[in-house]
Amino acid sequence: MTITTLFDNNAAWAAQVEAEDPGFFRRLGQQQAPEYLWIGCADSRVPANQIVGLAPGELFVHRNVANLALPTDLNMLSVLQFAVQYLQVRHVIVTGHYGCGGVQAALRRVELGLIDNWLQPLRAIAEANADTLAALDGEAARVNRLCELNVVQQTRNVAATPIVQQAWRAGRALSVHGWIYALSDGRLRDLGCTVDGPEQLEPAQRMQAGA
């Protein structure tokens, strides 16, 4: 496959979409109104729209290595603010996946360079759950459990942002979900850590309106 194949694929795809739904691109060019923000891993095997069967215009997407939602990440925060404040999404979905290379790298404690800075929060989650992870049999099981623990933590990170808390104070219905995807069967699972309002967060993470 050469790089020009991608343009050929694109032309074929655009023609097919337009044939199935005439005017699709013209309408989409006028506005986007997605109900969902997806925060997922950059892994090529976890293509957001395809997994949940959504068309262009239906899913706002942010992806990075190991689906982190860090309060210091201007990129993630800008996506989150735009999605919540301007696009008025109803759901933010943090989606991890089993066998995540970023999570595995964090557990292995081998120096990789720049990316070690990015993976540091994963090492902190592993440290905080050292007993749980040590009790598991084998590296794959530990990686997969840390993938789940990471999603739960990132879900709470999103819920703790001023962006989400302001939306709740304004009476907006906004849910933050934590899901995980299995490469082995293509299925998503809900990790049951949805946060719908500030009362579901630790007291230290709840903010009052400022002056």
Contact 34, 60 (CB under 8 A): yes
Among 37, 39, 41, 149, binds Zn ion (CB under 5 A): 41
Establish whether 187 is a catalytic residue.
Answer: no
Residues binding Zn ion: number (CB under 5 A): 3
Does 92 interact with Zn ion (rule: CB under 5 A)? Answer: no
Between 63 and 90, whose beta carbon lies closer to Zn ion? 63
In angstroms, what is the minimal distance from the CB of 67 to Zn ion?
7
Among 38, 43, 121, 122, binds Zn ion (CB under 5 A): 43
Number of Cβ atoms within 10 Å of the Cβ of 83:
22
**Closest C-alpha to 103, from 127, 117, 123:** 123
**Closest C-alpha to 155, from 37, 69, 59, 74:** 69
In angstroms, what is the minimal distance from the CB of 102 to Zn ion?
5
Segment interacting with Zn ion (CB under 5 A) among 5-13, 36-44, 54-62, 184-192? 36-44
Q: Which residue carries 């993630």 as its tokens?
A: 76
Does 100 interact with Zn ion (rule: CB under 5 A)? Answer: yes
Active-site residue, selected from the candidate residues 43, 62, 142, 177: 43
Establish whether 100 is a catalytic residue.
Answer: yes
Maximum Cα–Cα distance for the chain, whole Å? 59
Establish whether 206 is a catalytic residue.
Answer: no
Segment interacting with Zn ion (CB under 5 A) among 38-46, 79-87, 117-125, 174-182? 38-46
The Cα–Cα gap between 130 and 142 comes to: 10
Establish whether 41 is a catalytic residue.
Answer: yes
The Cα–Cα gap between 159 and 168 comes to: 10
Establish whether 156 is a catalytic residue.
Answer: no
Between 41 and 77, whose beta carbon lies closer to Zn ion? 41
Distance of CA 170 to CAs 29, 71, 174, 197, Å? 30, 21, 11, 11
Alpha helix (H) residue ranges in 4-161 = 4-20, 24-30, 48-52, 74-81, 101-108, 115-128, 130-134, 139-159
Does 143 interact with Zn ion (rule: CB under 5 A)? Answer: no
In angstroms, what is the minimal distance from the CB of 133 to Zn ion?
18
The contact set with Zn ion (CB under 5 A) reads: 41, 43, 100
The residues assigned a catalytic role are 41, 43, 45, 97, 100
